[in-house]
């Protein structure tokens, strides 16, 4: 293979080990040990996988791109290892979370956020009519399914907190404060049946915000230790193929590595909603992120549905998106994808055909292989896979299977 950086056996062993590690990606509200845990964005790959791939196949100063950035794992790890990162996602919730993670908060902003944390116990549950700015959000349905007898107090507490946040003069601090509300709101409402009391919510919000302030300070210091002049990753709210030209500008600059994880065929992931009491979907995350995104699940998953026509549509969209990926690549660019399938027999070969048709050839490294096919396969612990072969309501809480695919541009002689 030809890349700018030839990985050592030790680096490849590290990448393989990181891919096979079955540790939890995040412990959610129970831990904040890094900016990765500012928010539990669905279907993220482990930070260690991103870091080992970046360190194995690029050098400090190289450009690393992720056009499906999701929760920002690639951007954070590139930033921490001295690489220039440019990432994008068509989901504004994803780019909000990513921006909140990679921002280098100055001391003044952290002080403002810390002061706000001290005011959290004073936030009161006020009637919605007494709170400014909620009308457009309510009219657009963004507070849907969080106004039941069990959840309305948390909703009103969040609404009062949003009003307080908007009164903060420091825009960088406001970014962290909104992310803290998003994180604690997720803890309180998403995929849990026992909704916390308002006192429990205030205590958790204060704990989360204090922890985020300290983690943000440590993150900034870690970034500054590897950069003479830190470069904040560029984050675009734009999908492929449209984002491709902007991800390599100014320049043009050729990425050393494109590290990403696209939506999986016929795997339903709820990127854009919380499941209140485990069943009722709410778009409240966009309200807290201050973004009226307004799209349905098909928009974020390349049409994840159960029928054959939607699978055809998925591969049409995949082909279009990856035409943009290929347009960014040079002869030394390596493309690494983490991809999963719920039916290998019908989907995997078709996926590889799209890659080949676009002029990519697969790279197989013996040091990474876990199977006779020469590829690195990994099992994903504790991820809900929404199996849609029969109906969307059928849920398989089983372990998912993913592969880590490596591709490069096919050499001129083989095209």
In this model, does residue 359 exceed pLDDT 70?
Answer: yes
In this model, does residue 26 exceed pLDDT 60?
Answer: no
Place of tokens 């100055």: 106
Q: Across 71-189, where does the E strand assignment appear?
A: 84-89
Residues 186 and 308 in one domain: no
Q: Give pLDDT, residue 378.
A: 87
Contact of 83 with 64, CB cutoff 8 Å: yes
Q: Give pLDDT, residue 32.
A: 73
In this model, does residue 129 exceed pLDDT 60?
Answer: yes
Residue 45 lies in a domain: yes
Beta strands 376-380 and 385-387 are unpaired
Give the integer Cα–Cα distance in Å for 384 and 293.
Answer: 24
* For range 38-55, the mean pLDDT: 91
Q: In what order do the strands lie in the sheet with 385-387?
A: 267-268, 385-387, 395-396
Domain limit, last residue, from 223, 258, 283? 223
* For range 384-401, the mean pLDDT: 43
Residues 178 and 326 in one domain: no
Residue 4 lies in a domain: no
Residue 276 lies in a domain: no
Q: Which domain holds residue 171?
A: 107-223
* For range 366-381, the mean pLDDT: 89
Residues 184 and 253 in one domain: no
* For range 391-413, the mean pLDDT: 68
Residues 68 and 116 in one domain: no
Q: Give pLDDT, residue 325.
A: 98
Query: How does DSSP assign 264-320, residue by residue?
Result: PTTEE--SS-EEETTTEEE-HHHHHTT------HHHHHTS--SSHHHHHHHHHHHHH
Domain limit, last residue, from 196, 223, 250? 223
Q: How many domains does the chain have?
A: 2
* For range 217-227, the mean pLDDT: 97
pLDDT band at 159 (very low <50, low <70, confident <90, very high): very high
Largest CA distance in the chain: 70
In this model, does residue 291 exceed pLDDT 50?
Answer: yes
pLDDT band at 303 (very low <50, low <70, confident <90, very high): confident
Per-residue model confidence as pLDDT tens digits over 74-86:
999 999 999 999 9
Residues 248 and 183 in one domain: no
* For range 22-30, the mean pLDDT: 58
Residue 228 lies in a domain: no
The kind and range of the H/E element at 206 are: helix 198-226
Q: What are residue 84's phi and psi, to 5 degrees?
A: -80, 125
For all residues of the chain together, what is the average pLDDT? 89
Residues 175 and 82 in one domain: no
Residues 58 and 147 in one domain: no
CATH of the domain at 401: 3.40.50.150
Residues 252 and 352 in one domain: yes
In this model, does residue 297 exceed pLDDT 90?
Answer: no
In this model, does residue 23 exceed pLDDT 80?
Answer: no
Q: Give pLDDT, residue 307.
A: 58
In this model, does residue 327 exceed pLDDT 60?
Answer: yes
Contact of 15 with 257, CB cutoff 8 Å: no
**Alpha helix locations (H) across 21-130?**
47-57, 73-80, 92-102, 107-119
Give the integer Cα–Cα distance in Å for 290 and 169.
Answer: 16
Contact of 360 with 415, CB cutoff 8 Å: no
Residue 280 lies in a domain: no
Q: What are residue 379's phi and psi, to 5 degrees?
A: -100, 140
Lowest-confidence range among 79-83, 168-172, 248-252, 387-391?
387-391
Q: Give pLDDT, residue 390.
A: 37
Query: How does DSSP assign 313-340, residue by residue?
Result: HHHHHHHHHHHHHHHH--TT-EEEEEEE
Per-residue model confidence as pLDDT tens digits over 266-279:
877 788 899 998 78
Residues 51 and 159 in one domain: no
Residue 284 lies in a domain: no
* For range 291-319, the mean pLDDT: 83
pLDDT band at 305 (very low <50, low <70, confident <90, very high): low
Portion of the chain with pLDDT greater than 90, in percent: 72
pLDDT band at 5 (very low <50, low <70, confident <90, very high): low
- Could you give the 3-state DSSP secondary structure of residue 54? helix
Q: Which residues contact 57 (CB under 8 A, 6 or more apart)?
A: 3, 4, 5, 7, 256, 257, 334, 336
> Around 263, how many Cα atoms within 13 Å sit in the side-chain half-sphere?
30
Domain limit, last residue, from 168, 188, 223? 223
Residues 193 and 153 in one domain: yes
Q: Give pLDDT, residue 121.
A: 97
Contact of 278 with 193, CB cutoff 8 Å: yes
In this model, does residue 169 exceed pLDDT 90?
Answer: yes
Nearest to 201 by CA among 160, 164, 144: 160
Q: Which residues contact 233 (CB under 8 A, 6 or more apart)?
A: 75, 78, 79, 84, 85, 86, 87, 98, 102
Q: Give pLDDT, residue 30.
A: 59
Q: Give pLDDT, residue 388.
A: 34
Per-residue model confidence as pLDDT tens digits over 333-353:
999 999 998 888 989 999 999
Residue 137 lies in a domain: yes
**Residue 111 bridge partners (DSSP):** none
In this model, does residue 393 exceed pLDDT 50?
Answer: no
Per-residue model confidence as pLDDT tens digits over 112-123:
999 999 999 999
Q: Fill in the DSSP letter of residue 229.
A: S
Residues 87 and 211 in one domain: no
Q: Give pLDDT, residue 55.
A: 96
Give the integer Cα–Cα distance in Å for 244 and 148.
Answer: 43
* For range 252-281, the mean pLDDT: 89
The residue ranking higher by pLDDT, 371 or 386, is: 371
Residues 260 and 394 in one domain: yes
Residue 292 lies in a domain: no
Q: 292-297 — which CB contacts under 8 Å span 24+ positions? A: 292/136, 292/137, 292/140, 292/142, 293/91, 293/92, 293/93, 294/140, 296/272, 297/268, 297/270, 297/271, 297/272, 297/273
How much is the pTM? 0.92
């Amino acid at each position: 293979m030809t890349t700018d950086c030839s990985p050592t056996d030790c680096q490849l062993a590290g990448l393989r080990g990181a891919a096979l590690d079955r540790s939890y990606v995040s412990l959610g509200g129970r831990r904040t040990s890094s900016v990765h845990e500012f928010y539990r964005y669905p279907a993220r790959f482990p930070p260690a996988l991103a870091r080992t791939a970046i360190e194995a196949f690029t050098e400090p100063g190289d450009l690393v791109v992720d056009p499906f950035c999701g929760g920002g794992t690639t951007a954070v790890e590139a930033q921490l290892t001295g690489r220039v990162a440019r990432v994008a996602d068509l989901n504004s919730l994803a780019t909000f979370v990513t921006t909140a993670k990679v921002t280098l908060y100055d001391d003044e902003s952290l002080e403002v956020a810390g002061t706000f944390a001290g005011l959290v116990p004073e936030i009161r549950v006020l009637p919605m009519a007494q709170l400014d700015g909620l009308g457009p959000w309510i009219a657009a349905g963004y507070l849907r399914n969080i106004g039941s007898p069990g959840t309305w107090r948390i909703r009103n507490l969040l609404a009062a907190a949003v009003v307080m946040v908007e009164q903060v003069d420091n825009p960088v601090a406001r970014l962290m404060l909104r992310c803290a509300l998003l994180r604690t709101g997720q803890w309180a409402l998403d995929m849990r049946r026992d909704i916390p009391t308002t006192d429990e919510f205030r205590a958790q919000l204060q704990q989360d915000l204090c922890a985020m302030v300290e983690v943000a300070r440590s993150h900034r210091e870690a970034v500054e230790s590897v950069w003479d002049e830190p470069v904040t990753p560029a984050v675009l709210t734009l999908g492929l193929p449209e984002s491709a030209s902007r991800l390599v500008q100014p320049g043009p600059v050729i990425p050393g590595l494109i590290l990403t994880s696209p939506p999986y065929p016929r795997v339903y992931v709820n990127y854009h909603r919380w499941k209140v009491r485990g069943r009722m979907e709410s778009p409240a995350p966009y309200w807290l992120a201050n973004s009226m995104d307004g799209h349905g699940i098909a928009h974020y998953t390349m049409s994840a549905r159960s029928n054959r026509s939607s699978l055809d549509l998925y591969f049409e969209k995949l082909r279009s998106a990856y035409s943009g990926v290929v347009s960014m690549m040079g002869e030394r660019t390596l493309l690494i994808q983490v991809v999963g399938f719920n039916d290998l027999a019908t989907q995997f070969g078709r996926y590889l055909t799209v890659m080949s048709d676009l002029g990519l050839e697969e790279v197989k490294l013996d040091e990474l292989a876990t199977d006779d096919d020469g590829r690195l396969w990994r099992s994903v612990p504790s991820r809900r896979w929404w199996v849609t072969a029969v109906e969307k309501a059928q849920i398989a809480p089983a372990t998912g299977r993913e592969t880590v695919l490596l591709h490069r541009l096919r050499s001129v002689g083989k095209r």
